[in-house]
Structure 1
C-alpha cells in the first residue's frame, strides 16, 4: 500500500522492498537504467509502485548536475496558439523523461525578467521562449552558461538561438490568394499592435506588400483588441462604406478572429457577404454561422520541433555545434462559408 503523505517513502525502503542495492534503485530512476538487468528493473518498478515512491527530481538534479527540467516562457497563456504549442512541448518532454515548467509573463516585460531568473535558479536544461519584451541580456547570460534556448515565433536580434514557428510570409500569401480568388477586392487587416512581436510585424509588412502586388485595396486596424469601441467603429465603417467590390476582414491571429466575429455579429453582417479569414484554427470556428475560414498552424509539430532543437543543443553540451537555424512550418488553409459569397 502507498505510504501516507505525512511520511515520504525513501529510496532505501524501495531498495529493501525490491531486494536490491540503493545504487541500483538510483540507477533505475536516472539515465543509467539500461545498465540494470530486466529482472532488476521489473523488481524495482514493482516495489516503487507498491510503496508509492516518487523520485525527488530536484535533489537528483542538484546532485548529478541535471535537473531533468525544461522551462517554457509564454507571453500570454490565454492565447489558444500558446496553449496548443505548449501541449506539443509537454508531449515531447514526457516522451524523453523530462518535466516541463511553464511561466506566464502576461505580456509584461518585468515579469518576463523575473521568470527568467526563476527558471535559471531551477537549473533548467533548456528553455522554450515566447518573448514579449527584449530580454537579450538575460538570455545571453543563459547562453553563456551553456543553457540551450529556442525562440518560439518571436525573434530577438542579439541572441544566438534556434527559432521555431510559422512561415508568416507564406501564410499571408495564402490568405491573400484565397481572398482574391473568392472575389474580395477590399480588405481590412485586423491585428493587435505589432511592436515587440516579430511575427505580427512580419505579417503586417507582408499584408502591405501583398495587396500592392495584387492590386487590392486595403486598410489596417492595429490596436489593442480590448478597445471594443474602436474595433466596432473600424469594422462598422469598413462594412458600411459604399463600394463596388466585395469586402473581407483578414485577422492576424485567433484573438483578432474572435473579436472580429463578435463585431460582425453585432453589426448584423452576413459572413460570406462580408468575408472573414483568420490565422489560427480554433475549435469554435467551424460552429459559427457558415463556418469561418482559417489558416491552421501545425501547433503540435511546432512544439515538438522546439524540444528537438533543445535536445540537439543539449546533447552538444551547449556548444555551438552549428549555426542557429530558423525552422519554419507551413499553414494549412481550411476554407469554410465565411469566404464563400
Structure 2
C-alpha cells in the first residue's frame, strides 16, 4: 500500500483512465490528433481528480524540453488580457506546462527585451499579443522550427504564424446596427491609437463601413476619435468635441475596449453627464463592472477565456506536429444588452 502522501504517477493516471501510459504521454504532449475526444476527456478528468502533476525536470531530461511556455502580453491590467491568460494557464496546467508571463506595456523595446529573456529560459512555445514592432525578431525566433509562436488578437500578415482573433468587422457592424435600430442618429467611436494594431484598425475601418451601409442618411465619419490614454486632456477635449456638436441629436458612444470605456465613463461623470439620459453608451469587452455602472453597460462580449485555451492548444499541437498548415481561428462576439443604450 502506498502512503497517503505518495506522489501520483503517470501509471496511476493510466490505470484509472483505463488507457496505456503512452496514451497519457501523448495527451500530456499535446498530440491530440492521435486521441479521440472521449479519451482526451477521460484522461483530463482523471488528472484533475488525482491532482496529477508531471515531473517536468524528468520529462525535460528525456525530451529536451523545458515545459515552459512564454506569454508576452501588451497590457496585463486589461481585463481582456487577464481572461485570456486564465484560459491559457488552465490548458498549461492540464498538460504539465508552466506559463511565464511578461508585460510589454505596448512598448516594442520592452517586448524585444522580454523575447530575449524568454529565449534564455528555453521556452517551448510563445503566446504573444504583439506590439507590431518586432516582426524580424519573432521571425528569427521561429526559423529554427522548435519554438511555436501563436499570435493572439493582433496579426502579423507577413509572417506565417497561427493566429486566434475575433471577427472585428462583424463585431463593430453588430454594434452600429444595434444603435441605429435604437434610433441613435449620431454615433461616436473612441479608440486607442490604431497604427500597428490590427484589431483596432479593423474595428476603426469596420465602423466606417458600417456607417455607410446601415446609416446612409448620415455617412459622415467625423465622429471617429483616436485617443492616447496617457494624455488625459486629449480624451477630455475629443469627448467634449463630440458632445458639443451632437447636443441636439440622439447620440451614442462606442468605446473600442473596456480600458477606454472606463476612462470615458469617468470623464462623463466628472462633467455631470448621465448614461443613458445624455448619451447612449456601448463598449467592446464585457468586464465585471459593466453590469454595475449606471444601470448596466451594453457590451460586445468576446470569448476571451476560450481564446486563451485555443491559443495554448495550438501551441501544444505545434509541439507535436509543426508541419501542419498555418491557420487563423476567428471567433464571433455576442452583444450583451443592458440599459446604457435603451433607444430614442
What's the TM-score bracket when you normalise by the shorter of the two chains?
Answer: 0.7 to 0.9
**Structure 2 CA distance for aligned equivalents of residues 108 and 59 of structure 1:** 37
The equivalences for 1:1-341 within 5 A come to: 34=21, 57=56, 61=60, 64-146=63-145, 147-213=147-213, 214-215=215-216, 216=218, 217-218=220-221, 219-241=223-245, 244-273=248-277, 274-316=279-321, 318-319=322-323, 321-322=324-325, 324-341=326-343
TM norm structure 1 = 0.81
- Residues 202-246 of structure 1 show CA distances to partners (whole Å, capped at 9, x for unaligned) of 110111111122224441110212322221222223223355530
Number of matched residues?
301
- Residues 92-120 of structure 1 show CA distances to partners (whole Å, capped at 9, x for unaligned) of 11111211111111211111111111212
Conserved 8 A contact 1:176-1:210: yes
**Structure 1 CA distance for aligned equivalents of residues 126 and 11 of structure 2:** 26
**Structure 2 CA distance for aligned equivalents of residues 98 and 200 of structure 1:** 32
Conserved 8 A contact 1:112-1:133: no
**Structure 1 CA distance for aligned equivalents of residues 124 and 74 of structure 2:** 20
Identify unmatched segments of 5+ residues in structure 2.
Answer: 14-19, 23-52
1:309–1:161: structure 2 CA closer, same or farther, 3 Å change rule?
Answer: same
Moved over 3 A (4+): 25-29, 54-60
TM norm structure 2 = 0.80
Conserved 8 A contact 1:134-1:156: no
Higher relative contact order (CA 8 A, sep 6+): 2
SS of residue paired to 2:165: strand
Q: CA deviation at 1:134?
A: 2.6
**Structure 1 CA distance for aligned equivalents of residues 276 and 102 of structure 2:** 40
Identify unmatched segments of 5+ residues in structure 1.
Answer: 1-13, 19-24, 36-53
**Structure 2 CA distance for aligned equivalents of residues 60 and 242 of structure 1:** 63
Greater Rg by CA = 1
Conserved 8 A contact 2:228-2:234: no
